[in-house]
Structure 1
Amino acid sequence: MNPDEAERPADAERRTHAVIAAALARLAGAGAMTTPHPYLTRYLAQHAALGGVLDDGHVPPALLPWSTGDGVRGLLRLPHPRHADRRWLTAWSAVEPYVQEADLPSRCSSLHFAYTALWHAGIGHADLPPEAAAFPGSRVRVLWSQWTPASNVLATLRHKSGSLAVISGADGGQRLAIGGESGAIELIDALTGSAVGDRVPAHDGAVRNLLFVPDSAGADALVSGSTDGTVRVWDTAEGTLVSHERLPGNTWTADLTGYRKDGGLVVVAVDGEGAVTEWRQGSGQRRLGDMSAHPREPAAFTLALTTGVDGRQLLVGAGATLKVWDIEGHRLLHEHAVDTPIRTLAGTAVPGRVISGHSDGSIRVWDAEAGAGVTFPGQGDPVTSMAMLRVDGVDLLAAVTSGSSIDLWDIGSEQWAGRLDGHADTVTALCTMPDGDSSRLVSIAWDSTVRFWDAHMVGRTLAGSLSAPGAVTAAFIEEPGTAARLAVSYATSQVQVWDIGSATSVEPVSIYPEPPVRALAWAPGAAGGNEVLLWAAADHSVRMWDPANGHLTDKTLTGHAQPVRALAACPTGDGRRVAVSGSDDCTARMWDLDTGRQLRQWRHFHSVRAVAAATGDGRDWFASGSTDGTVRIRQGRDEAPVRVLPCRQGVINALALNASQSSLPPYVASGGDDGTVGLWNLVTHEPVCDPLRGHSDAVDALATWSVHRDDGAPRPYVASAGRDGTIRFWDACASRCVLQLATGSRVRTLSVQVSGRDHRQIVVAVGGEAGVAVLALSVNDLEGLADG
């Protein structure tokens, strides 16, 4: 058959899908608030992708917030013409994983924000093109942004997860198997990020190990190991349990590996006491050997497979020493000394070679016979996960050292090659999957996201192409008669002040070379003068910068013995200017900004991460929150004892005070590591309501305010931002989330001010790993959402 003729059916099918997509696009409503036909919301993007016309013309932007079919972020990775206009599709793919259960206004607002941030960075609202200035159904206006949401989030998870494997699906597609701390295993489509089937309650303990063992006969297996001391084998085609094995003794599964021999499955596991056990399909259990614990880490045991230079299957195990077994011969071949405890092992494509990750952050290459080879130095944190990948002909090792970053090492040149940043919390597992001639890295983390790193992303890192620096912290101020200003501390150690109205930068703040500033706050100016910017210096002091002359003032607040983590300031009821600081020295301190004198000090048991200050109804309130899980309240500057609130939210990361009487009594809002927001009565020190729940990860930033309804009654609101890549706006009276804004990246700081001629506009400033942005919401829209 002529090759051209063989291609005709495929070409005809592609043209058919393109025609269908064009026809369906014409049926789509003109605005996002017009309910489209369900077939459009589920299948239009898929038809466009199959027809090679997946672009903004064939999938109208107004349809995206309604979409329910295959994930756009997955479809965008299919081959497509380079000239295709996909701006709105790209923006939607950045927020799609975060808004799966959000309502329509939230989805429209999130898409609007992502589009404006991605394609109109640094442009003030007055200069935006019409499609970015307003979007049907959106409740936000983007006043100014330098925010780049992550584009590599494949899916968001509802449960903490610590293990990961790539498996083959029954349809030939690839799936990601994810093991959770609750003992369940879930599958997601590796292309679209959609869930495949239901979560399987696999173990009674956390699933810490997952291994996929393919079979040419189709009997592919997924092997799982758990802290409950069991190893289980699952048929991936049927989703059924094939085998259940319990490790000898009463301990946990430390690690496992496996392969096939003559079609039969072989699984080897090591338990928490170093016993190495082998299972063979049809032959039962056998003790292969024992490993002694390293004296500095008695629970660190790990395994890896490699092929010897003679083709034998070798098992490498690490404990007090590095042992090498001939599995088929059931005998120990080599034993090598280990100085620093090994946390994890990874096999390589080179016969007889494995790589170890150590508790001090170092990485070492081993020859199974000769022993230790080259060592890559570490930074002190233990290596917890590793994976080998190949990008553009370069063999790389991806390694996680107990943080949110992934380090890349060039194995050939034996050099550090770069770092992948994006996760907002500790990375817990890595794996790789084929991607053409290269590999794609997949990672999961405590931030509940699944991220992929393709050859292009890794290549940019290897080439040193860096994105815009993230914001460590930020502070916003807008006063009558003055320009709205946003002070930003960047990860590059620069502090910069932006004029939001003109979208221009004021002179950078002059600071000494030091680590990035961790805390900023605007404070009232002296005697009606300009506001001053407070910032936490590297010498543990707090300094003041005057934007009027661009210089530091002569007042320095000294007394803390450890880094200052949080700042807040306010005018008191009697007209004085005060500030509050929280530090790693376990203290919160109150300062007189006119004299630079310390007024008060109170202690926590652990580091102080959050402070707040506010004046309302003639009373001054100050609050501090700590890693000890408590919030401490002080009223005024008197000697009254500090009241302690046991919040039971884990670490307290954020506080906000609403000191004015409204439909609620004056309250303090607390944000914790458990993802909740607590509201506490400042007078009775009791909860105002049940905790506000919705975030899937820790809450890092809070703001609270009140607006007057048409009947004159003030209505309180709370905004919370977390590591889950969302900002949530709450009606505090109803304890209900009225708007969810997907930011696509972790938000570290949040400021809210009521502004406008009649105080009917809410200005929201956000800062985080993706940059900074300033948004506006109408009070009428917010009230409509609260009432609706």
Structure 2
Amino acid sequence: MTSRRAPEGLITACLRTLAAEDGWNRANAYTAHYLALHARAAGVLTDLASDPDFLVAADPEVLAGALGSGLDPALPASARLFLRCAHQLRGREPDERAATLALAGFQHDIPLDLPRRHDALWWPLWAQVEPNAYHRVLAGHTGPVYAVALGELEGRPVVASGSGDCTVRVWDLRDGVAIRVLEGHTRGVNSVTLGRIDGRATVLSAGGDGTVRMWNPDNGAQVRVLEGHTHGVRSVVLGRLEGAGIVVSGSDDGTVRVWDQRDGSTIRVLDGHTHGVRSVALGVVDGLTVAVTGSHDGSVRIWDLASGTLLRILEEHTGPVRSVALGELDGRPVIATGGGDTRMLLWDLREGATPLRVLDGYTYGVNSIAIGDLGDGPVALTGSYDNTVQLLDMADGTPLRVLEGHGAGVRSVDVGHLDDIPVAVSGSYDSTVRVWDLSEDGTAHDWDDHTQWVRSVAVTLVDGRGLVVTVGNDRAVRLRDLRSGALVSVMRGHTDWVRSVTCGDLDGTPVAVTGADDATVRVWNLRDGTVSHVLRGHSDWVRSVCLTRSADRTLAISAGNDATLRVWDLGRGSTVGVLASQAGPVYSLAAGGSPGRPYVVAGGDDGSVRVWPLTGESDPLLLLRGHTDWVRSVTCGDLDGTPVAVTGADDATVRIWNLREGGALRVLEGHTGSVHAVVKGTLGLVPVAVTGSQDGTVRIWNLRDGSHVVLPLPGCTGLALDGDTLTVATQRGVMAVSLRPAPRRSWG
């Protein structure tokens, strides 16, 4: 090793000298691609990775592999920061990589000496985001990740993942590289497991195509296909029965099948569940090999695999059971079960008459459970549709960690070790696999900002000072300085999630209007934080609010789950009228027109866009159809003299509507997930729409020709555009970026 380090060190020194003379932004292709590998071989990569200019210049794929998992405590903070966002840097130009890395520095309070690049189309100004645990993102799947499993292949720690893209990927946990992509399933892969069959490393997968498949991970060859289920297979595990290797699978056909590992023949079919079997776990209790199965019929069943006898039915769940896991607590075998009824239950495997413990608080249910021991006793790891991974002490149910970072629901989890460091692995509907460091101190951060999702953002001017107003699931309304992001004040009063905020002027007083799940609309004085009015009348959640002028008064319009649009005189705090009900919940509103003929544009859950007059007529002016799913966001404005609305929907499209003639001017396609936020403005001389999506991106569209650029800003829930400053609300906080076009570049 020493003899190799000397020449590698010389090469590294030469390349660094050249880069210093030329500037990292002009580093040659060889340096960008290979310097990280030479530095690692020379043992100096840790020092090199402390230079943020090198992190920007280096090939992201190569550097991420060279740095490894990021769990090495000797790595500088800048290197771990790079690994956090490496998946967002791949395929990007250096200016975009610099902006993304600088934003990550703001988000994780790690200062980086990175001045704005002269060619950058966007640049972060500040970020106030709740800190989260260190984790590495493994990106490559093009569909939701339904399954993850930790294991080892010939001494190499790996994680296998199965996806809706019909593939299985095997990742090297140390460097985050996909070492094998296994293709053969014709529908999504719901379950994966790793083990040995006849002494050979094997990957098993179960898919929506009704098959279980065995793979040789060394060469990617498909060894065998197990067929017999008549519907998709949800779960597969390896085990032993009376000395012989078996495979056990659970299916949407309601059956559990036991297969012979050697030839793939069916040993036994276990019938009894009345709906699909979502999860299977194997264990041994008092010498008896048992299978525990969880089903959409709400039951958990325990089977004697040798005889096929049903031993016990556990029926405490009030919804579908999505996951079962086996472990040991205080010397006794236990079962952990979870599903759609917001609870995780812990059972004694021997007795099981009633749960040992009921753990509540899973608002969106439990999708996956894994049990492990990190050194201080057994723990349970869970994944949920609330986008989080949670770690619990099984002894008393105490929450140990909440791991946040996924941009969509977490479908699968596993827990284990990587080089003696405890780790969690999760797979999500956001198409990523994430590897979490569980060795860090899980003590809550000193965080006094939004503690849950931020749902909406607005920008306003109060006595000459630009302010950002944000609302969210923690029921608070927060004001912060637009320039610095510093918190100015917090206003409280709502008793449930606040979903929407808009700002305006009421007789010379700057106000914010908010709508919440407590069915109220509140009007706030932004000078002193007091509530001017609490507007009551809705019978369900208020999802959207907007403001406009009509004649000599200021109107607020609100709408939500009760399918009505209510118009309020903001000065008097009284109802002006209730517009005719839409077909279902209203998700978004925007006001347009003139004081003499104002209107409001409403997007609904039926994909429709309706334009309602605010001057007394009872029927909509226009009914616009084209979206095929919920219309989440709408904005109004003018496009070259034509009044338009721009809408974003769950069908992943953005549409521009001509409000004078009633037709669609253009469909903007590019997003691959639900579009949750739309805002219109002008950058330079170019009319633009900015959109935020569940696909992890914010996109800036030229409204004249439909061209767009992509900003890697995941988790966007709301947008506000003030000049060239874009404020972005996300699931974890709020940030501001500058969209000032760089010299020699424009948005046109």
Match of 1:235 in 2: 216
1:192–1:701 CA distance, 2 compared to 1 (3 A):
farther
Match of 2:357 in 1: 375
Cα distance per residue 1:667-715 (max 9 Å; x no partner): 222222233322222223333223331x343222111113563xxxxx3
Contact preservation (8 Å) 1:276, 1:287: no
Q: CA deviation at 1:539?
A: 4.0
Match of 2:380 in 1: 397
Q: Scaled by the length of structure 2, what TM-score is found?
A: 0.88
Aligned-partner SS, 2:565: strand
Select the residue among 598, 615, 620 that pairs with 1:637.
Answer: 615
Aligned-partner SS, 1:292: coil
Select the residue among 714, 717, 724 that pairs with 1:748.
Answer: 717
1:4-83 → structure 2 map (5 Å cutoff): 9=1, 11=2, 13=4, 17-28=8-19, 34-55=25-46, 57=48, 60-66=51-57, 67-70=59-62, 72=64, 75=67, 77-78=69-70, 82=74
Distance 1:495 1:186 in 2: 43
Distance 2:126 2:384 in 1: 36
Q: CA deviation at 1:385?
A: 0.9
Select the residue among 208, 212, 225 that pairs with 2:206.
Answer: 225
Q: CA deviation at 1:304?
A: 0.9
Contact preservation (8 Å) 2:68, 2:174: no
Matched residue type, 1:431: D
Match of 1:5 in 2: none
1:20–1:611 CA distance, 2 compared to 1 (3 A):
farther
Contact preservation (8 Å) 2:68, 2:176: no
Matched residue type, 1:497: L
Matched residue type, 1:375: R
Contact preservation (8 Å) 2:588, 2:633: yes
Select the residue among 646, 658, 671 that pairs with 2:648.
Answer: 671
Select the residue among 262, 274, 281 that pairs with 1:304.
Answer: 281
Matched residue type, 2:674: A
Contact preservation (8 Å) 1:524, 1:530: yes
Q: CA deviation at 1:751?
A: 0.2
Q: Which runs of 5+ in 2 are unaligned?
A: none
Quick check: 1:568 aligned with 2:546?
A: yes
Select the residue among 122, 132, 157 that pairs with 1:140.
Answer: 122
Moved more, 54-63 or 442-451: 54-63
Select the residue among 477, 493, 503 that pairs with 1:522.
Answer: 503
Contact preservation (8 Å) 1:494, 1:508: yes
Match of 1:293 in 2: 273
Distance 1:203 1:749 in 2: 38
Distance 2:596 2:91 in 1: 43
Moved more, 674-683 or 465-474: 465-474
User: How many matched pairs?
Assistant: 733
Match of 1:700 in 2: 676
Q: Which runs of 5+ in 1 are unaligned?
A: 1-8, 122-128, 710-714, 755-761
Q: CA deviation at 1:482?
A: 1.5
Distance 1:77 1:299 in 2: 38
Quick check: 1:475 aligned with 2:457?
A: yes
Aligned-partner SS, 2:282: strand
Cα distance per residue 1:477-504 (max 9 Å; x no partner): 3459711111122554332212334654
Select the residue among 189, 195, 199 that pairs with 1:207.
Answer: 189
Matched residue type, 1:317: T
Contact preservation (8 Å) 1:524, 1:571: no
Q: CA deviation at 1:737?
A: 1.8
Contact preservation (8 Å) 2:135, 2:436: yes
1:95–1:603 CA distance, 2 compared to 1 (3 A):
farther
Match of 2:480 in 1: 498
Aligned-partner SS, 1:92: helix
Match of 1:549 in 2: 528
Going by fraction, where is strand more abundant, 1 or 2? 2
Match of 2:146 in 1: 162
Matched residue type, 2:427: I
Matched residue type, 1:292: G
Contact preservation (8 Å) 1:257, 1:305: yes
Match of 2:103 in 1: 113
Distance 2:537 2:303 in 1: 59
Q: CA deviation at 1:242?
A: 0.8
Select the residue among 291, 297, 311 that pairs with 1:315.
Answer: 291
Match of 1:767 in 2: 729
Aligned-partner SS, 2:108: helix
Contact preservation (8 Å) 2:39, 2:48: no
1:484–1:334 CA distance, 2 compared to 1 (3 A):
same
Moved more, 560-569 or 717-726: 717-726
Moved more, 557-566 or 652-661: 652-661
Q: CA deviation at 1:284?
A: 4.4
Moved more, 516-525 or 141-150: 141-150
Distance 2:243 2:31 in 1: 46
Contact preservation (8 Å) 1:114, 1:149: no
Contact preservation (8 Å) 1:143, 1:500: no
Distance 1:120 1:183 in 2: 38
Matched residue type, 1:658: G
1:283–1:201 CA distance, 2 compared to 1 (3 A):
closer
1:344–1:668 CA distance, 2 compared to 1 (3 A):
same
Distance 1:197 1:301 in 2: 27
Q: CA deviation at 1:282?
A: 3.8
Q: CA deviation at 1:717?
A: 0.7
Distance 1:543 1:480 in 2: 18
Cα distance per residue 1:371-411 (max 9 Å; x no partner): 34512233475432111133342321112344322333212
Q: CA deviation at 1:446?
A: 1.5
Contact preservation (8 Å) 1:144, 1:500: no
Match of 2:410 in 1: 427
1:113–1:237 CA distance, 2 compared to 1 (3 A):
same
Q: CA deviation at 1:79?
A: 6.4
1:623-662 → structure 2 map (5 Å cutoff): 623-634=601-612, 637=615, 639=617, 641-661=620-640
Match of 1:607 in 2: 585
Match of 2:256 in 1: 276
1:12–1:700 CA distance, 2 compared to 1 (3 A):
farther
Q: CA deviation at 1:243?
A: 0.8
Distance 1:33 1:681 in 2: 48
1:170-189 → structure 2 map (5 Å cutoff): 172-189=155-172
Matched residue type, 2:146: G
Match of 1:587 in 2: 564
